[in-house]
Amino acid sequence: MAQEIEQQNGAASFAALKPQVVVPAGKADEAVQFYKAAFGAEELKRVNHAKRKADQETPLILCAELKIGSASLLVCDQTDDSSPVAGKEGGSGIVFRLETENVEGALAKAVKAGASQEGEITEEEAQEGSCCGGVLGKVKDPFGVAWIIASAAKVAAVEA
Amino acid sequence: MAQEIEQQNGAASFAALKPQVVVPAGKADEAVQFYKAAFGAEELKRVNHAKRKADQETPLILCAELKIGSASLLVCDQTDDSSPVAGKEGGSGIVFRLETENVEGALAKAVKAGASQEGEITEEEAQEGSCCGGVLGKVKDPFGVAWIIASAAKVAAVEA
């Protein structure tokens, strides 16, 4: 009942906010090693970019999930898809990933409040061991901060 | 005993990782309102910048702590002190704030792993209702990401 009312209002509750560091392509593994050494980060999972698996020696990292204390930090290689969050002048970019069961509602609410939607809502590639299957949309807020609103990771669904 | 060994190794455990959005001076209140409207953020506390309290109608926000889902997000007005995390071209900057009981050890470990320390370790101003009293250091990691390493918020200590 409460959930029903929430959805009518276009509201969404967020299961997680995960900051995502997007580093220049090919640097993500180095970044993961650095965060382990510098902050004692623990690597929970890593998903490589499918397109590079076959033809590249070092695959791009679509998403590595680290744990620092009790918090999640995602580290990703920059790809064509990550352009809205790309850092300037070859640097790193940061985007906040919000996970929710109601991606459309959350996006609509953010846009109504003044965020600009970037591109269409897409279905993330669900890959072996993926952290990233599900629906995903991107917005930029009025202060220039990039947000990804995505359905919560469903690792189990990938195995089907 | 375990803690003793940890400190000998220069290791530090982190109580929290709080992403901090540093917006152009004077915009933080607007940003807080936006995050409430867009993401249902809840404002837990707000500390204004002391120097502006007397002579400005709208005080700068040193730090507003928001809760989105179970995660913390800090929103701050840019001040002279926040230069290392300032956004380019008048935009917003993002810094990750790590809270720990062993600021010196954590900084030393990060620098040993390849981060550059920015400035000296400072004592944050402890103010009425402060979220920010305590020791604080800043580093930039090899990927251009800014980190604040700070002692965990001690609101109670401020009242003394």
Whether residue B102 contacts residue A39, with contact meaning beta carbons closer than 8 Å, is answered with no
Whether residue A82 contacts residue A136, with contact meaning beta carbons closer than 8 Å, is answered with no
| Residue among B82, B99, B93 at smallest CA distance from B136 | B99
Angstrom distance (rounded) from CA A12 to CA A100: 7
Angstrom distance (rounded) from CA B28 to CA B63: 9
Task: Compute the Cα dihedral for A81, B141, A97, B83 and give only its sign.
Answer: negative
Angstrom distance (rounded) from CA B80 to CA A50: 44
pLDDT at A81: 65
Interface contact A12-B71, CB threshold 8 A: no
On the question of pLDDT at A37 being above 50, the answer is yes
Q: Which residue of B has its CA nearest to A25?
A: B143
Give the pLDDT confidence of A40-59 residue by residue, as tens digits. Answer: 999 999 988 776 555 556 78
Interface contact B31-A143, CB threshold 8 A: yes
Give the pLDDT confidence of B108-146 residue by residue, as tens digits. Answer: 999 999 999 999 998 876 555 445 668 899 999 999 999
Please give the average per-residue pLDDT across A24-40, as a whole number: 95
Element (H or E) spanning B73, and its range?
A: strand B71-77
- Could you report the predicted ipTM of this complex, rounded to two decimals? 0.81
Q: What is the CA radius of gyration of chain B?
A: 16
Interface contact B11-A88, CB threshold 8 A: no
Element (H or E) spanning B158, and its range?
A: helix B155-158
In the chain, the amino acid numbered A1 is: M
The structure's pTM equals: 0.82
Mutation pick from B5, B109, B145 vs chain A, by most beta carbons of A within 10 Å, is B145
Domain boundaries, chain A: 2-150
Angstrom distance (rounded) from CA B160 to CA B157: 6
Looking at per-residue confidence, does B140 or B6 come out higher? B140
Angstrom distance (rounded) from CA B75 to CA A33: 29
Whether residue B49 contacts residue B59, with contact meaning beta carbons closer than 8 Å, is answered with yes
pLDDT at A90: 60
Angstrom distance (rounded) from CA B130 to CA B62: 9
Residue numbers in A near B17 (CB within 8 A): 19, 68-69, 71, 73
User: Mind spelling out the 3-state secondary structure of B79-138?
Assistant: CHHHHHHCCHHHCCEEEEEEEECCHHHHHHHHHHHCCEEEEEEEEECCCCCCCCCEEEEE
pLDDT at A50: 73
Of A27-36, B1-10, B140-149, give the lowest mean pLDDT range.
Answer: B1-10
Distance to chain A for B58, nearest Cα, Å? 19
State in Å, rounded, how far the first CA of chain A is from the last one. Answer: 31
Give the pLDDT confidence of B41-96 residue by residue, as tens digits. Answer: 999 999 887 765 555 567 888 889 999 988 999 999 998 765 545 445 567 899 99
Interchain contact B28–A (C-beta under 8 A): no
- Which fold would CATH assign to domain A2-150? 2,3-Dihydroxybiphenyl 1,2-Dioxygenase; domain 1 (3.10.180)
